[in-house]
Structure 1
Amino acid sequence: MNFTETEILEKLDLAFQGIPSDDFPDGNEEDIKYNFFIDLEHGYFETAGNKIHLYGDKNRWAIVFEKCGYLNRGGAGVIELDYIGNCIDYPISKYPERSYITNCETIELVSSEEYERIRNKKGSEMEQFELISPEALTINIHERNVPIDQDINKYIKLGIQPREFDNPEKLIGYGDIIRFYNETYPELVSATEIEIMTHLPTDIPKIMTISEFHYISSHDAIFPSNQETFLMIAKILSTGDTSFWKPTLKSNNHWSNWESGHL
C-alpha cells in the first residue's frame, strides 16, 4: 500500500479534534472549514442508526461515517455522512461572502414541510410540538411514502419511549419514528451506495460496512489512534484484509446507549 496505518490514524485524530487535514481545498482567507467526526451524543441530533463504511485500494482509502436521525434544531430527519480519507472530493458551499468547506454531506429523510403536514394540531402548544398526529396515516421518508404505525406499544417494545412531558396522549415524536424505522425497516433510513459514493472516486472498491462497533464518548478525549475500533480499521484499510476486524470490546453504538438530541 502507498499509505500507512499511521497516516490513517493521524487523519482520524485530526477529524476528532475538528482540525481540517492538509488535503482540504485551500480556499480563500475568509472561507470556513469543518472536519467532522462521528458523534452519537450530539445535542442537536437525535441519533437513530449509525455505521462505518470502508473503501480502498493500493493508493486510496476512505472512511465514511453514516448516521441517521432527527435534527431537533433544523426540524428535519436526515442522514449525515462524514468523509475521511486521502481521496475525498470535499463538499463546498459557495456564498458571496465566503465558502464553507467540509467533510460532511447531509441527505434529507423527512423534510420540515412533511413533519408539519403530519404534526399533531390539537391540544396545547407543547402538545403540538414535534409530535405526530394520531390521524396521520403516511409519511414521506427518503422519497418514499410509507404507512405510519400508530401503535405506541410497538415503539415501547423497541425501547422507544414516548415523550413524557406535555404528551398526555403518548403520541409518537419526530425522532421516534426514525428510530422505529431504523429498527423495523433499516434500509429506508440508510444511505444508498450511490449516495455514499457522492464524494468518493467512482472506481474505488468497497471493503466492508461495520454496523456494530465499540464507541467511546468524545467527552473521554481518547483519540481514535488509541481506540481499538480505529486501530483495527486502519489495519484493514492498509492491508485490504477484513479478517483484522476482531473486536474484543462489546459493541455499544446502538442509539439506546447514548443520550442525544437533548438540547
Structure 2
Amino acid sequence: MVDVGAILEQFDVAADEAVFVDLENGYYYPIDSRLHAYHDATRWALVVELIGYNPRARAVLDVLHVFGNCLTSGEPGFENGDFLSRIEDLEEVVAEQVTPIVLRGRRVSVAAKPGEPMVDVLRRILPTHRDLLLATEEELRGRIPFDVPQVLRLEEWHQPVFDDVRSSETETYRLIAQVLATGDPGRYRPTLPPNTHWSHWPDSGTL
C-alpha cells in the first residue's frame, strides 16, 4: 500500500533541500515542461521535466526531477546524471547566431535575428521539435524501474511558488500524491488554471 502522507513528506523534504520542482529558478530561462506519474500496488514514482536555457553555461538542459519509493539509484530530486543536454553546438550558436542548430544529432533550422535573445530563438523550436527536447522513455526510466506503469502524464499544470507554502499544502501536489498512491488518474481534478507555460515566469533566468 502506498501512503499519501509519505509521498507528500518526500516532496517537502526535497523542497527544503532545494531539489524540488521550481519554475522560478533564477539560473534557467524556462522553455518547456512535462510531468509523468507512475504507480503499482507497492511502488510510486514521479518524474518532472523542466527544460531551460542557462546562458552562463551556454546550455539547453532537460532537468529530470525524480521522486519515488523505488528509485534504482540516487536520492529524490536531481543529480548530475539528471541534467540532459539537448543542443550540441550551442556555444557556436550563441557566439554567431548561426542556424541551423544540432538538436540531439538532428540539424534544425530556426530563424534568428541579429542580437535576438537566444532563449526566444530556442522557444521557437517547440512547435515542430518538442519531442527532441523532451526525454525519451529510456531517459525517463534512468532512475526508476522500467516495469512500474505510467498512470498520468501532464503537459501543463498549476505550479505553486513555494515562498510561503509547502508542497504538501498545495492543491496540485496533494492531487498528484493521490494519483501516485492510488493509481487512479481521475483523482487529479484541479481547480486552479495551469501556469507552466514559460510566459508565466518572467523572472526566471534573470540572476
Structures share fold, TM-score greater than 0.5:
yes
2:133 is aligned with what amino acid? V
CA–CA distance in structure 2, aligned partners of residues 63 and 47 of structure 1: 20
1:225 is aligned with what amino acid? S
Correspondent of 2:172 among 229, 232, 242: 229
1:40 equivalent to 2:23? Answer: yes
Gaps of 5+ in 1: 19-34, 93-100, 122-131, 153-168
> Aligned residue for 1:63?
46
**TM-score, normalising length: structure 1:** 0.72
1:102–1:37 Cα change, 3 Å: closer
> Aligned residue for 1:88?
71
Equivalent residues, number: 204
Superposition RMSD in Å: 1.9
Offset at residue 119 of structure 1 (A): 3.5
> Aligned residue for 1:13?
12
CA–CA distance in structure 2, aligned partners of residues 178 and 207 of structure 1: 30
CA–CA distance in structure 2, aligned partners of residues 178 and 204 of structure 1: 33
Matches within 5 A, 1:1-263: 2-18=1-17, 36-91=19-74, 103-104=78-79, 105-111=82-88, 114-121=89-96, 132=97, 136-150=98-112, 169=114, 171-219=115-163, 221-258=164-201, 259-263=203-207
1:245–1:60 Cα change, 3 Å: same
Gaps of 5+ in 2: none
CA contact (8 A) 1:181 1:188 kept: no
Larger radius of gyration: 1
For each residue in 1:157-214, what CA deviation from the matched residue of structure 2 results, as whole angstroms up to 9, or x when unmatched? xxxxxxxxxxxx4x33332233222244321211111111111112111111111111
**TM-score, normalising length: structure 2:** 0.90
For each residue in 1:21-66, what CA deviation from the matched residue of structure 2 results, as whole angstroms up to 9, or x when unmatched? xxxxxxxxxxxxxx61111111111111012110110111001110
* Partner SS for 2:125: helix
Percentage identity across paired residues of the two chains: 31
* Partner SS for 1:39: coil
